[in-house]
Amino acid sequence: MNLHFWVRWSWRDLRERWLQVLAIALIIALGTGIYAGLGSSTPWRENAYDKSYALLNMYDLRVKFTEGSYVEGDDLLSAVEGIEHADWIEGIEPRLLAPTLVDVSTKDDTIYVPGLLMGVDVADGGPHVNGIHINKGRGLDESDSGQNHAVLEYQFASYYDLPDHGTIHLSGGLPVDYVGLGMTPEYFMVIAGEFGFKDEANYAVIMTPL
């Protein structure tokens, strides 16, 4: 068998199965184009994320206590300020995180999902670490302290087409008035659990003053 034989054999099969060959070629071309397109966007996406994290002062180090434990914010700040090289720290803020259930049901739909209640420091225009970008409505300020006011995570609200302000209910039927929709660096991509991915429909984050 020589090259001439293989060429004739291949040409015969190509003529008899040209539709299959064309379909395979088209699939390969589409796959190659999609791969090249997505691959070329990687530097842009990484740069965009870096700038977004920097804009909202994403934390460099997060200290998390065991579930169920609690430390007063002032005591926590004093402890950190007493460590060696505390002057290297540019900013520190306490957070209070508590799992909850969120009810945003309407007259037409029942929407009941797990979520996270995130208490943030709003003093002096805060939070300054892991800030909140307001997409719609308004942000939180010191006048909201002591009230059942919150900012609802934007992607969750967008998925269910919720207005920029309204009332939601947490575990036990507790009503909370949200005054705006916003995003925080931890939830640029909403991942509810260890194996979740793009869980904005199934996980609600509520940011409220400490």
Q: Is residue 73 one of the residues assigned to a domain?
A: no
Both 122 and 190 in a single domain? yes
Both 24 and 107 in a single domain? no
Both 104 and 22 in a single domain? no
Q: Is residue 71 one of the residues assigned to a domain?
A: no
For the four alpha carbons of 178, 180, 185 and 191, in that order, the dihedral sign comes to positive
With a cut of 80, say whether residue 31 has pLDDT above it. Answer: yes
Which pLDDT tens digit goes with each residue over 66-81? Answer: 877 888 878 888 888 8
Both 195 and 98 in a single domain? yes
DSSP characters over 19-39: HHHHHHHHHHHHHHHHHHHHH
| The amino acid at 170 | L
Both 100 and 43 in a single domain? no
Question: 4-26 burial string, b = 16+ CB within 10 Å, else e?
Answer: eeeeeeeeeeeeeeeeeeeeeee
Rounded to whole angstroms, the Cα distance separating 146 from 59 reads 26
Q: Is residue 131 one of the residues assigned to a domain?
A: yes
Domain extent at residue 16: 3-55
| Most confident stretch, 127-131, 144-148, 179-183, 198-202 | 179-183
Q: Is residue 66 one of the residues assigned to a domain?
A: no
Give the containing element (helix H, strand E) for 40.
helix 18-55
Both 47 and 99 in a single domain? no
Both 126 and 179 in a single domain? yes
Number of domains in the chain: 2
Q: Is residue 119 one of the residues assigned to a domain?
A: yes
**Residue carrying the six token digits 């007259």:** 107
Q: Is residue 80 one of the residues assigned to a domain?
A: no
Both 101 and 166 in a single domain? yes
Stronger pLDDT, 207 or 40, i.e. the higher one: 207
